[in-house]
Amino acid sequence: MATSLNGRRVAILATDGVEQVELVEPRKAVTDAGATAEVVSLEPGEIQAMNGDIDKADRFTVDRVVKDVTVDDFDALVLPGGTMNPDNLRADENAVRFVRDFVNSGKPVGVICHGPWTLVEADVVRGRTLTSYPSVRTDIRNAGGTVVDQEVVNDNGLISSRNPDDLPAFCATIVAEFAK
């Protein structure tokens, strides 16, 4: 499995307020499996990660700007959480377009915690089953999705988890799905 993602390119769509562990652990999992992972964000420069939405954590370099990328540039997408991160992403038309195009392409998408807010804004959860942080579940239901309370859910390549405690299962599942 160490080289199961050789040659694959993974976008991690994130901006200021991203929950650090939800960016770092999935990125490590896919790069350890051989993928190239790039942080895609709203603006060039750096983004400020957070711990528990309260404490500033590390800053991360932005590799690409979302208005300059397309779904064809990547093989898979990761949407980390933190409350500020997806709230900012869902207000950006380029980020919403990118997420919508990605899900509609059928390429795999991993989303954790509050990350589904961007999926809801992109109108791509209707008829899908996923999990999320508890406070996001009503939004998913209202957008036509089905919510289950499980560690990890894989609905035809849409992989979701609830919170950082689920990261081991989430990371293993995204690597397996991204390798298909």
- CA dihedral of 85, 100, 172, 136, whole degrees rounded to 10: 50
Residue 3 within a domain: no
Q: Give residue 2's pLDDT band: very low, low, confident or very high (50, 70, 90).
A: low
pLDDT tens digits for 26-35? 999 999 999 9
- Report if residue 175 sits inside a domain: yes
Asked if residue 86 is part of any domain, the answer here is yes
What are 55's strand-pairing partners? 51
In the chain, the number of structural domains is 1
Judge whether residue 3 has pLDDT over 90.
Answer: no
Strand blocks (E) in the chain: 9-13, 36-41, 46-51, 55-61, 64-65, 76-79, 109-112, 129-130, 146-147, 152-155, 158-161
Sign of CA dihedral 137, 88, 79, 21: negative
User: Would residue 143 count as lying in a domain?
Assistant: yes
Angstrom distance (rounded) from CA 86 to CA 83? 6
In a domain, 77, yes or no: yes
Q: Grade residue 1 by pLDDT with cuts at 50, 70 and 90.
A: very low
Residue 2 lies in a domain: no
DSSP state of 165: G
d(CA 118, CA 89): 6
Residues 6+ apart with CB under 8 A from 168: none
Domain membership of residue 121 as a residue range: 9-179
**pLDDT tens, 53-78?**
999 999 999 999 999 999 999 999 99
pLDDT in the model for residue 25: 98
Report the catalytic residues: 113
In this predicted structure, the answer to whether residue 116 has a pLDDT above a threshold of 50 is yes
Is position 113 within any domain? yes
| pLDDT average, residue stretch 79-108 | 98
b/e sequence 140-160, b meaning 16+ C-beta within 10 Å: beebebebeeeebbbbebbbb
Query: Using CA atoms, how far apart are residues 1 and 104, in angstroms rounded to an integer?
Result: 27
Categorize the per-residue pLDDT at 153 as very low, low, confident or very high, splitting at 50, 70 and 90. very high
What is the chain's mean pLDDT, rounded?
97
pTM here is 0.97
Report yes or no on 107 lying in a domain. Answer: yes
CATH code assigned at 18: 3.40.50.880
**Given pLDDT bands bounded at 50, 70 and 90, which one contains residue 161?**
very high
Alpha-carbon distance 132 to 160, whole Å?
7
